[in-house]
Amino acid sequence: MRENLYILIVMLLTVPIAGELKFHPFQDDFRISFGTTAFFFLLLWLRPSFLAGLLTGMTVVLFRVGLDWMSVDDFDFVSSFSLHIPAFFFYATFAGLFSLLRVNLFHHLPLWVGLLGTVAEIGANLVELCVRFRSIEPVGQWSVIGPIVAIALIRSFFVLSFFNIIQLRQATWLEKQQRNRNERMLMLVSNLYEESVHLKKTLYQVEEITRDCYELYRSIKEQVPKEWAGRYSKQALSIAGQVHEVKKDNQRIYAGLSKLISDENERDYMPLGELISIIVRAQEKYASLLGKTIRFESHVTIPYLACHIYTTLSLVNNLVANAVEAIEDKGSVSIQASLSESREWIQFSVGDDGPGIQVKDPTLLFMPGFTTKYDESGKPSTGIGLCYIKEVIDNLEGSMEITEKREQKETYFTIRLPIASIVQKG
């Protein structure tokens, strides 16, 4: 409603002014102007259109009478009004035919819109001429109809071309916005997928702690002297109960996450080439946020292979983010994806030309909490990224290796997974 009101206001302001850019094809008071062009263009955005035609027609007549009043010395309102009132019938008829033919229902058929717009303009011009000449006889001549038809055709398709260009740009912008929203959602769910893996591991640990606490309670009851057993056994049982409550809370959270990300259907899979593109765009923004100049290269030999979105994003995106963080100021990151010769394994490789691995034993990198990265204040990173990757890879019965090419100053992390664990079945 607000948009229609805004368009109507623009129409009432621009059409009368544009109508003064004109020429007279029949050397009389009948004019062809840019007002019609502006009117047709704005009608394509406006619903309903007939009321807009009535209001525009009245505004145009009043505007032209006002111009006469300011510019003509012996101004006569009745004469001026009679001279310009046919314009009202033009705009009212144009909008009436436009509404009757339901032109705005055919935006998906541009040629049809152009033809219907031409019909509406021809009809409106003929009605204006009949009102102006107070007779239909002069209007029926080909010398009158011919120029009107030609001008209507040219103007309608000119307006339609401009309208379609704007719609195309608008559609492209909306598509880009939707793609950005979808990518943000995919990355968000990918992060949730990562957290669910950690939560599942925590659930197992909480279960073990609960069991140990209960065993401690039983041991105290059986082995500790009675004067001490009552007090300490109650504490052990209380701890076991508290841990059990934590476990139940975690189970509820895990169940919610699992429902969100574990219902496998076609929407959970996407061509690998698109997934790698999403990762590259996300990490370009991340590198820019860190103030680093990083060039990303991707080489995917199987771009149309449908892979599980969240598993692929969480694994590969983690490796690429690590590479971005490892590079000090500027450098390059490469991402490769391919199938093994037997087509039973899929391989992801992420390389960077950063400073390389700073520890003698690479296995330490996969230890929970171990990190070599610190922020500007000296605060260490969480050290769970590679630990998470290793956990997922082990669950999927895959493998991971680290390769350093010291001559080229390059470090590669390579993941190898069974294709059945990540590629859409069937």
> What pLDDT digit, counting tens, does each position of 148-193 carry?
888 888 888 888 887 888 878 888 888 888 888 877 877 777 777 6
pLDDT range class, residue 364, cuts 50, 70, 90: low
Pairing of strands 330-339, 399-405: unpaired
Q: Say whether both 273 and 397 belong to one domain.
A: yes
Q: Do 411 and 354 contact (CB within 8 A), yes or no?
A: yes
- Arithmetic mean of pLDDT over the chain: 80
Domain of 47, CATH number, reads 1.10.1760
Spell out a b/e string for 276-313, using b for 16 or more CB atoms within 10 Å of the CB, else e: bebbbebbeebbeeeeeebebebebebeebbbbbbbbb
Let me know if residue 235 belongs to a domain. yes
Highest mean pLDDT among 61-70, 183-192, 250-259, 302-311: 61-70
Strand partners, 52: none
273 Cβ contact partners less than 8 Å away, ≥ 6 residues apart: 300, 303, 304
Res 301: pLDDT:
92
Single residue among 225, 242, 265 that ends a domain in this structure = 265
pLDDT, residue 81, reads 92
- Same domain for 259 and 272: no
Confidence class for position 215, pLDDT limits 50, 70, 90: confident
The answer to whether position 35 is within a domain reads yes
Cα separations in angstroms, 213 against 184, 217, 230, 262: 42, 6, 15, 32
The answer to whether the beta carbons of residues 313 and 191 sit under 8 Å apart is no
- Residue 217 and residue 255 in one domain: yes
Judgement on whether residues 291 and 247 belong to the same structural domain of the protein? no
Closest CA to 195 of 322, 423, 384, 325: 384
Cα–Cα distance for residue pair 329/81, rounded to 1 Å? 74
* Residue 254 and residue 283 in one domain: no
Count structural domains, the chain.
3
User: Which residue among 265, 297, 320 closes a domain?
Assistant: 265
> Would residue 426 count as lying in a domain?
no
- Please check whether residues 314 and 335 belong to one and the same domain: yes
Beta partners for 336?
299, 349
- In this prediction, residue 376 carries a pLDDT of 52
342 and 369 housed in the same domain: yes
Looking at the structure, tell me whether residues 28 and 94 fall in a common domain: yes
Q: Are residues 249 and 109 in the same domain?
A: no
Residue 177 domain-assigned (yes or no): no
Quick one: average pLDDT of 352-376?
Answer: 61
Residue 309 in this model has a pLDDT that exceeds 70: yes
Domain assignment present for residue 244? The answer is: yes
Return the structure tokens found at 291. 């103030």
Q: Specify the pLDDT at position 374.
A: 46
pLDDT beyond 70 at 263 = no
Q: Which domain holds residue 215?
A: 185-265
Domain co-membership, 293 together with 254: no
DSSP, res 292: -
Please tell me whether residues 280 and 407 are part of one structural domain.
yes
**57, part of any domain:** yes
**Looking at the domain assignment, is residue 317 inside a domain?**
yes
Residues 119, 190 within the same domain: no
- Nearest Cα to 295, choosing from 373, 362, 354, 235? 354
Q: What pLDDT sits at residue 383?
A: 45
User: Using CA atoms, how far apart are residues 271 and 279, in angstroms rounded to an integer?
Assistant: 13
Most confident of 5-9, 145-149, 243-247, 250-254: 5-9
Lowest mean per-residue pLDDT among 109-118, 167-176, 236-245: 236-245
| Whether residue 48 has a cis bond before it, omega within 30° of 0 | yes
Q: Which of 265, 289, 318 is the last residue of a domain?
A: 265
Longest dimension (CA), the chain: 123
In a domain, 170, yes or no: no
Q: Is the pLDDT of residue 328 over 80?
A: yes
Q: How far apart are the C-alpha atoms of 417 and 276, rounded to whole Å?
A: 17
